[in-house]
Amino acid sequence: MQRSHILLCMTSALVAQAIPQASTPAPTLSLAKRIDAETVRLDNLKLTNPAQALTEALALIPDPLPTFDKSNIQATRQSLMDQLAVVQVKFMAGTYARECGKWEQASSLFKEAAELATATKAPTKEGVAPSRKQWEDAVAEAKIKIAEVEPRLVAFDDNPRFKELGAKADRTMDENIEYEKFMAQKADLIQPLQVWKNNIAIAPKALAVFDDLEKGPDAYIEACNNNVQKMQKVIVAEKGELNRFDEDAKNPIINSKRLKPLAFYINQKIRQMSEQKTDRPTWLLNLNRYLVLDPGNKEVLKKIDWAMGNTAPSKSKS
């Protein structure tokens, strides 16, 4: 009986540890919830003012980052959520930087986000390990105990005296006492058996919680690394284009206005977008990049005003 009571208590405790439970709200919001509350607002702000959205997103990143608390399963889960929220902010900031034309900063932010997400994997696994082991041990022990007890229970039911007393409709007082002792002995076998079977039944759900926690950073890592690769690819492609336009700018026939290589590059890219009837969002993305390459470029500033709907369109001249 004592062993079965211990196992029953352990089952409840392990389920509570493994599966997030409803609890009284904390007096202050967690880092993850504070960041989540800002996400929609910043995404809306990005539509009209990506530079301000970038500034405010960067301001949300705590310095230093909170320490990863892996002291128990609940603390591990909260720490993972908080740090992945910071990953999300860095990723958002990267997208805002990209919209602002700050491709190098965007690449750096995506890289930092990928590195932080990767760094959460080891402590998450360590924080989950004790609870995972408890469940795996409980299941292993339950299987052993079930294999031991079930044959005893079958043998108990086959006991001739137990069968005889159970079939009797008019037992004497002494026979009733004897039968109740039999039933108490049977209960001592059944109760822990139910606990062990319950452990085995619940274990997959508990272990799935641990698996989800350990896999939690993977999607973030993949998304961030993909964006790093994309940014690096466009930066390299742009450098190749700039080198080619540097050569074209030296040709007085092609560069009749004798523009400097960078100004010539931007002038030609704007002309291409005009000819291709590029949509305004793409205009803005490219114009913001050109303004980063050549701050104060008057042609770019005029086109940005037009793309923002502030002025009428003007034709670019080669």
- Structural tokens at position 246: 């540097």
Looking at the chain, the whole-number percentage of residues with pLDDT higher than 90 is: 49
End-to-end CA distance of the chain: 92
- Mean pLDDT computed over 290-304: 90
280 near 307, Cβ under 8 Å?
yes
- Structural tokens at position 55: 């500034």
Cα–Cα distances (Å) from 102 to 82, 105, 219, 235, 265, in that order, read 27, 5, 25, 10, 18
- Mean pLDDT computed over 115-128: 97
Cα–Cα distances (Å) from 208 to 117, 128, 289, in that order, read 20, 11, 45
Asked whether the predicted pLDDT for residue 7 surpasses 50, the reply is no
297-303: list long-range contacts, CB under 8 Å, 24+ apart. 297/263, 297/266, 299/266, 299/267, 299/270, 300/266, 300/270, 303/270
- Mean pLDDT computed over 305-314: 70
- Structural tokens at position 67: 């320490």
- Structural tokens at position 59: 């301001």
Q: Give the integer Cα–Cα distance in Å for 105 and 120.
A: 23
The predicted structure's pLDDT at residue 29: 76
**Distance, CA of 305 to chain centre:** 38
Asked whether the predicted pLDDT for residue 84 surpasses 60, the reply is yes
Contacts of 189 (CB under 8 A, 6+ apart): 149, 152, 153, 156
The predicted structure's pLDDT at residue 318: 44
Top pLDDT among 299 and 162 is at 299
State the pTM of this model.
0.78
| Sequence ranges of the domains in the chain | 250-307
- Which of 2, 262, 151 is CA-nearest to residue 270? 262
- Which of 245-259, 262-276, 301-315 tops mean pLDDT? 262-276
Q: Give the integer Cα–Cα distance in Å for 287 and 274.
A: 12
- Mean pLDDT computed over 291-306: 90
Q: Where does the pLDDT of residue 56 fall: very low under 50, low under 70, confident under 90, or very high at 90 and above?
A: very high
